[in-house]
Amino acid sequence: MSLGHMRKITEEGVTFKSHLDGSKVVLTPERSMAVQEALGADVIMAFDECPPFPAEPDYVRRSLERTVRWLERCEAARTREDQALFAIVQGGISCDLRELSLEKTLPFGTPGFAIGGLAVGESKEEMFPIVAFTAERLPEQKPRYLMGVGHPEDLVAGIALGVDMFDCVYPTRTGRFGYALTDRGRLNMNSSAPRQQLEPLDPECDCYACRHYTRAYLAHLVRAEEMLAPRMLSLHNLRYLHRLVERARAAIEEGRFAEWARAWAEGYFPKAVPSWFLAALETSQQPLPGGSPAARSL
């Protein structure tokens, strides 16, 4: 999607120009499998088309059907049995198209399933009902992976809806821009307040940055454009998300996830907890299935 202006999608695959030298690059399902096998990843993803938002329903339908055909080619092209190939459910923000994608994708019986095509421009009010709709229809005994989603509130809401796995550039990108993640929201290290604060980014965090540097010093590094600043902020942000999920796991094991999540959200959203978040928590009021995502693989 980031090279959308430089690429062409056909049944064969995706052809685009390199942003470095303009050379032609062809990526197909077969090439995708070869690259991922060479990398040796434990989890590999089927080659799919992720439609932008907004997109016409007819286009989204054609796209998801092509994704299924590409999944067939990925299955045929793979040669390693020690890698878990995940299929990807598409369909935009349409429940009907999600249902169609599920109908065509679930029979492949892959070791896990991903929810794709979200967090591409739609609002959270539009996104999370689709996450709930899709996750509810995915097998409970297999991991559910929400692609490209990584804001703290998104992780907590996604876990409430039964999601196991997430990925996103958010923690490192946010660190590069001079922001630190905390239970009270993002701390802007470019602002004046941190320059006078001698406490760590988060007193409860055990990351290297919090154990060795003060807010004031890190704010100085940000202003001086020292590379240590984005490195330390990125390190902290990654650890913050790790700790957030660890706390969610503990709350699930203790049978108090909804209570914990609401208390966390009230601190993270001091003005008002968003309605979409509360709606996700309503789902978590029901006991999580024994083989479910949140309880099993977090």
The pLDDT tens digits for 50-95 are 998 999 999 999 999 999 999 999 999 999 999 999 999 999 999 9
pLDDT greater than 70 at residue 134: yes
Q: Strand 179-182 to strand 185-188: parallel, antiparallel, or no bridges (unpaired)? A: antiparallel
Higher pLDDT residue, 80 or 283? 80
Contacts of 10 (CB under 8 A, 6+ apart): none
Q: Is residue 287 part of a domain?
A: no
CATH number, domain containing residue 58: 3.20.20.105
Q: How far is CA 291 from CA 159, 174, 240, in A?
A: 14, 34, 26
Number of domains, the chain = 1
Whether 185 contacts 268, CB under 8 Å: yes
Q: Is residue 21 part of a domain?
A: yes
Q: Is residue 229 part of a domain?
A: no
Q: Is residue 100 part of a domain?
A: yes
Whether 67 contacts 48, CB under 8 Å: yes
pLDDT greater than 50 at residue 298: no
pLDDT band at 287 (very low <50, low <70, confident <90, very high): very low
Whether 280 contacts 264, CB under 8 Å: no
Could you tell me which of 204, 248, 256, 213 has the C-alpha nearest to residue 232?
213
pLDDT for res 295: 42
Domain interval for residue 131: 4-148
pLDDT for res 294: 45
- Please give the radius of gyration of the chain, using alpha carbons only, rounded to the nearest integer: 21
pLDDT for res 290: 45
Whether 139 contacts 291, CB under 8 Å: no
Q: Is residue 225 part of a domain?
A: no
Q: Is residue 111 part of a domain?
A: yes
Higher pLDDT residue, 288 or 200? 200
pLDDT greater than 90 at residue 215: yes
Q: Is residue 142 part of a domain?
A: yes
pLDDT greater than 90 at residue 7: no
3-class DSSP state for residue 42? Answer: coil
Q: Is residue 210 part of a domain?
A: no
